[in-house]
Chain A
Amino acid sequence: MAKPKIGIMYLTSCAGCQCEILNYEEALLKLLDLTEIKYFPIGSSANTLDEELDVLFVEGSVSSSLDEEMVKKGREKAKILVAIGTCACFGGIQANNNDVPLEELLETVYGTTDMPFEITHARPVEEVVKVDYSLPGCPVDGKQFVYAAAFLLNGVKPFFPKMAVCYECKLSETECRTLQGLFCLGPITAAGCGAPCTSKGLGCQGCRGDHDAPNYREMVEVLSARGLKGKDLINFMKVFRGNYLKEKLKDAGVE
């Protein structure tokens, strides 16, 4: 039987998700045995997007016409497309500037708007092509990637329940950072990472996006009571999702 063909693509991002994947060497070497990696520019100089792929993993946001073209081509060739990491799932940090005109951004950072190719605001992959599964996280959690790959290659739909980070804090007996007075987004953020930030004595930074029923209004009240207010509060909450979260907050009646 022919081996399934997979690809790992990256758009505008820091490459951190791919590095996280590279860390799971045993799984990776197995993956190499069980599949043919047809597209993986950071790891190999032999790449093609001209063949059918069974699974394509995509890291990064769509931030230019080149990203758009590349991911569209990838989508055409892939039976299953999985968005990995916060940039691919929510636009990432670069989506923080989506309410600023591009001209202003370019003028400020480059001193000109005359760019070598078309720049767009940062979009999550699903805004451009159909995404079958999303694995958020900054970076993506390596174990989740391994599970998802294993599920997909066995023809099983990957499923990760979206509980709050608080749940994992309880499991690991980490003292509640909210009760300690820290700014912690654990109460609205989806678990699955193992809560490493809270275990180190910090509040959850919210990189994995919402769990199933986020109570924004309550979260904002709690953070305000702890001294984080106004624009600073919005900035803190929207770091990983930028204006996409701002819109959600607006919809929930919080501003």
Chain B
Amino acid sequence: MMKKEIKVDHLTRVEGHGAIEIILEGDKVKDVKVRITEGPRFYEYTVRERLWTDIPKVVSRICGICYVSHRIASVRAIEDAFDVTVPEPIKLLRRLLIVGEFFESHALHVYFLALPDYMGYDSALAMAKEYPNVVKRAFKMKNLGNTIMKTITGKHFHGENIIPGGFATYPTKEELLALKEQLEDVIVDVEDTVKLFDSLDYPELNDPPILQMAISKDKLAFVGNEMYLSDGTVFTKNEFEMFVTETFNGYSMAKQSTIEGKPFLVGPLARINLHIDSLRPKTKEIVKKMRIKFPSNNSLHQNVARTIELLELVQEGIELIDAILADYPSVSRVDVKPKAGTGFGLKEAPRGTLYHKYSFDENGRCTNANIITPTAQLQANMEKDLKSLADRLSSEDEATIKKYAEMMIRAYDPCISCSVHMFGAKFETLKVVRL
């Protein structure tokens, strides 16, 4: 029987380097591998023996795109370990930061990484000549995210003003009002984005996810203390590792996560699928008119789910600023006193749930750390989706299978910047399981 190996040696328009491999025997898919490496950066080792004050700064460098997620997950874990409760104004400002982070990340992803596939271009920049307004809108939305992050933390990326206990400084009223104005101004762009992504052609895929997971049972939330699974299970942040287990599969440097041995879906599609009924009225109104229906079993619809999240977040941003201003000036920081113990931090990063855990000695030096990133959690599910995609397309030519495989991987927006280094030239020396 004809054996065929389809390889994408170097994935592009993803954050990081990665490769995929599909092995066909005749029309039958024998094996699918997503090779992701978490990069040899050894963060969990680096934080050991370090003071708690250094930790958010170190771990935020895991990712340049979702540094806010890593910082917030880590400060929440540190506060949890030291029994620190932060007051409402700090929580509100953190949530506003999340709005900024999602705007930057989602806009970057849907327009710059995913859209060129659907428009037939190599890159969004190449689209600029013929579709200047689409590219301008992309920049406008992305820049809004950056402005929010810069206003609050001091820098677009890796701003240091997110610390255990709160913020060293709080933005001024004027700065917050300026952000509110920009949020109001971008609503129409978000609505147009929803329409654009709702109008694209997505290959039909109807392979229900085995399990889906997101923070909080009751509604769409980006920080929380418990996880909700589509089978009804609820577990707390302290129980995370009892449910989500990680194994090293030998061919990909990211450890593979499963729940009871099964792949699971996290991220925008899981969040929107699980919380579609509790979105804001305005969002519901728009969602009702959409061509694509949620809950959806098509993983390519993750792009559409992202745009719905932006719609929720732009409204949330405005509500948050109103709430912050109603109680201004506010406490920006509470005291943190280290003590021995272990703390847990959960956050929905743009790509899915992020888990940080740290143990400390009585001086606040870290003795142990564990971080489970969304991309590590999604790896098994990506392989599952690629397999069903390849099953459907197995009689097609290689270029077609490759194209859709890449589209599928990009729909996940894997954050391999944390980070993969698969380079085509070296592929032969890898331990590839061959038929």
By a beta-carbon cutoff of 8 Å, the part of chain A in contact with chain B is 10-20, 22-23, 25, 28-29, 32, 37, 40-47, 63-67, 69-70, 92-94, 96-97, 100, 105-106, 108-112, 114-117, 119-120, 122, 138-139, 142, 196-197, 199-202, 205, 207, 231-232, 235-236, 239
Could you tell me the distance between the alpha carbons of A115 and B254 in the complex, rounded to whole angstroms?
Answer: 11
Could you tell me the distance between the alpha carbons of A56 and B157 in the complex, rounded to whole angstroms?
Answer: 22
If A112-B248, A202-B160 touch, whether A239 touches B15 (CB-CB below 8 Å) is: no
Contacting pair A64 B50 (CB below 8 A): no
Q: Does B23 contact A (CB under 8 A)?
A: no
Could you tell me the distance between the alpha carbons of A47 and B255 in the complex, rounded to whole angstroms?
Answer: 29
Closest-CB distance, A112 to chain B (whole angstroms): 6
Q: How many A-B residue pairs have CB under 8 A?
A: 206
Could you tell me the distance between the alpha carbons of A5 and B147 in the complex, rounded to whole angstroms?
Answer: 31
Cβ–Cβ < 8 Å partners of A92 in chain B: 61
Q: Which of B58, B156, B406 contacts A20 (CB 8 A)?
A: B156
Task: Contacts A44-B122, A117-B430, A122-B40 known; list 5 others, CB within 8 Å.
Answer: A42-B14, A69-B426, A196-B154, A196-B159, A232-B50
Cβ–Cβ < 8 Å partners of A15 in chain B: 15-16, 63-65, 417, 419
B70-129: which residues lie under 8 A (CB-CB) from chain A?
104, 108, 112-113, 116, 122-126, 128
Contacting pair B64 A139 (CB below 8 A): yes
Could you tell me the distance between the alpha carbons of A46 and B128 in the complex, rounded to whole angstroms?
Answer: 16
Contacting pair B423 A37 (CB below 8 A): no
Could you tell me the distance between the alpha carbons of A47 and B122 in the complex, rounded to whole angstroms?
Answer: 9
B236-257: which residues lie under 8 A (CB-CB) from chain A?
248, 250-253, 255
Q: Does B139 contact A (CB under 8 A)?
A: yes
Cβ–Cβ < 8 Å partners of A93 in chain B: 41, 43, 46, 58, 61
Could you tell me the distance between the alpha carbons of A20 and B63 in the complex, rounded to whole angstroms?
Answer: 13
Contacting pair A22 B108 (CB below 8 A): yes
Could you tell me the distance between the alpha carbons of A117 and B421 in the complex, rounded to whole angstroms?
Answer: 9
If A15-B65, A45-B116, A117-B426 touch, whether A23 touches B156 (CB-CB below 8 Å) is: yes
By a beta-carbon cutoff of 8 Å, the part of chain B in contact with chain A is 10, 12-17, 35, 37, 39-46, 49-51, 54, 57-58, 61-65, 67, 104, 108, 112-113, 116, 122-126, 128, 139, 142-143, 146, 153-161, 163, 168-169, 248, 250-253, 255, 365, 406, 417-419, 421-423, 425-426, 429-431
Could you tell me the distance between the alpha carbons of A87 and B36 in the complex, rounded to whole angstroms?
Answer: 21
Cβ–Cβ < 8 Å partners of A120 in chain B: 40
Contacting pair A108 B45 (CB below 8 A): yes
Contacting pair B57 A239 (CB below 8 A): yes
Contacting pair B51 A44 (CB below 8 A): no
If A45-B122, A202-B161 touch, whether A66 touches B112 (CB-CB below 8 Å) is: no
